[in-house]
Homo-oligomer: A and B are copies of this chain.
């Protein structure tokens, strides 16, 4: 754990600059607008260690797969989150000295991410012999004009005189740090000194993945007035230079307005014109006016999604930081996009779409965003069905296998134990349809496109199981469960459970599907009978004596001992132990059996839940960011409040406190729903099974109260939980019955009811 920012309900602020924490600081101060994003790199440049990062949603590169040993069926390419041309650059010189915080003397460092506005501010006072200049930077990526990034730098001379030179740059000569040989993935196409644009295209690839063309344009303003400096260009690079002099007490503001257009929206030959139009639009308003437009949208989002926590500012800051970063990554406005594990905050992992979306993003977005946002996420998968059929065929199997990692539906990850084996994703993705259907009450998706997904995945499972004559059961061998600290195991309880559920729910919903959908999927009676046979005879490993489900065959043969026995200094184990030691150990990376119990919460008795929780939680190291939230929810349900709060903190402040010592690479975007899930499904005990909304809330001891809002079936419901009391208000929408503890209450629009807890 390492906390480098101060606790504050609405800000992520530090007054310190420690070069050793530069990358961590950059990750946490990354900003985005669900069209593009940048890490917290310094505008003026920095000669010490840092990780340059600019990312454009949906712009990626299919890099040739290189592995130690090729295995049949490996994907041909590894989809890379592409570091895009850097538009932040605004180099500064004071009296000929380049401002570089790795080299010059400075004081009063201040860096703050305003979560309410989505604005990043930084300032410091540059110190030279008899000169002091205070620089204040403001930066945001506009929510109202998605293609626009705005930077403002105020220079204020506190002592002496200062000749200030500035150079604004657009730089396409960027590489991915994770490239094998410092390859460039971009080719420069053109630079236009007059228009201040550079245009680049991703290198050709042999995989039929479209090349992306991007155009970047910048315009300068000095004290709000348009300014034209001296422009120089090199291949893929443009620099515009200017200067001014200030005496003590004087100040001047440099503004850099940037527009980025990509061939995802604008054909290459129309980009110059489109960009100019957008830049004109930006420059028709002042920095402050643009910021106000941007902030208005944040206000609206916060209005319907803010979670308040009274009595614990660290917890409060954590949940807001998560909501901010999630919405900066994805707000459902572009159906072609999804939620990448690092969002716009780092290049690691590659790929844009993981099962994280369905298992972690969907349950929260269902409640905090319009239903159409979740539906867009479902349709994203439906649109990628051809890729999923391709993936299954590559493995010699029937049906559709959704990819573990992808940009376009084709698998692009290349560890066999993941790509070939972590197939539970093919249950999680259908399960999101189930969640959507039950939460929204909208059956139109499952009755039509959704049925294509269900049948595609059902057919995959029916061909992936095998019948063991020896055991007289259907089994699934050679899988990796959610707990990736086990590879190539047999009969992972979670995977077997998901597989049988997919077959079962498909059979259940198929008769209700539209005629067109039924005709499309064309499931024969023989197939249905086969699926039913698999459902009836699926093998689930369990231990009768302990009364627990077994994570996989043979789990109890391990040297089972709790995490507390891991010697100090050896955690996280994935940074200290070799892979074989991790695999052999009983330690669990993330919820596996418990994930299944969470998904199918009403199938199990409290005793079953408790026995499994008590067995598995002590073995879990939570080294996946996806793990603690699920444990928190179950702990809350089981009345283990202290454990639930500990796990809430771990998930909600995972990056702010750098729990897993890997936030330097970027934020854990997809697991950022965990804090929200822990509060709403955990502490407030929200459930929505069987078309029925219910709560069993409590307030953690160290908190005074908390509140949140839900978007549920075209209604807005506000929930406030204080010690001993729950207030539920139907802010908007038709009358509704809600269950709180054992009581069912009826709410009319505008009505609030208060219950003793």
Interface residues of A (CB under 8 A from B): 65-69, 71-74, 78, 180-181, 394-397, 413-417, 420-421, 466-471, 475, 477-478, 487-488, 490, 553-554, 556-560, 574-581, 583-584
Residue pair A395, B578 in contact (C-beta under 8 Å): yes
Residue pair B558, A468 in contact (C-beta under 8 Å): yes
- Between A181, A417, A467, A584, the greatest number of chain B beta carbons within 10 A of the residue's beta carbon is seen for A584
**Distance of A577 Cα from B416 Cα, bound (Å):** 13
With known contacts A68-B67, A415-B68, A468–B580 Cβ distance under 8 A? no
Contact partner of A420 among B68, B466, B556, B578, CB < 8 A?
A: B578
A558 to chain B: closest CB distance in Å?
A: 7
- Between A74, A470, A560, the greatest number of chain B beta carbons within 10 A of the residue's beta carbon is seen for A470
Residue pair B477, A579 in contact (C-beta under 8 Å): no
A349 nearest in chain B by CB position: B69
Residue pair B468, A557 in contact (C-beta under 8 Å): yes
A244 to chain B: closest CB distance in Å?
A: 48
Which residues of chain B are near A558, meaning CB under 8 Å?
466, 468, 477
Which residues of chain B are near A556, meaning CB under 8 Å?
468, 470
Copy number in the complex reads 2
A464 to chain B: closest CB distance in Å?
A: 9
- Between A417, A487, A574, the greatest number of chain B beta carbons within 10 A of the residue's beta carbon is seen for A417
A489 nearest in chain B by CB position: B488
Contact partner of A579 among B71, B554, B581, CB < 8 A?
A: B71
Closest 10 CB pairs of A and B: A73-B578, A420-B580, A68-B414, A71-B579, A466-B559, A478-B584, A470-B556, A395-B578, A488-B488, A468-B557
Which residues of chain B are near A576, meaning CB under 8 Å?
72
Contact partner of A581 among B395, B468, B488, B580, CB < 8 A?
A: B395
Residue pair A554, B557 in contact (C-beta under 8 Å): no
Query: Can you list 11 A-B contacts with CB-CB less than 8 angstroms, sorted by A residue number?
Result: A68-B415, A69-B414, A72-B575, A395-B581, A417-B488, A420-B578, A467-B559, A477-B557, A477-B558, A487-B487, A490-B557
**Beyond A68-B414, A477-B583, 15 additional pairs, beta carbon < 8 A:** A68-B415, A72-B575, A72-B579, A395-B580, A396-B578, A397-B581, A416-B580, A421-B580, A466-B559, A468-B556, A468-B559, A469-B560, A488-B583, A490-B554, A553-B557
**Distance of A560 Cα from B468 Cα, bound (Å):** 8
Contact partner of A180 among B180, B397, B414, B584, CB < 8 A?
A: B180
A475 nearest in chain B by CB position: B557
- Between A68, A72, A469, A470, the greatest number of chain B beta carbons within 10 A of the residue's beta carbon is seen for A68
Which residues of chain B are near A559, meaning CB under 8 Å?
466-469
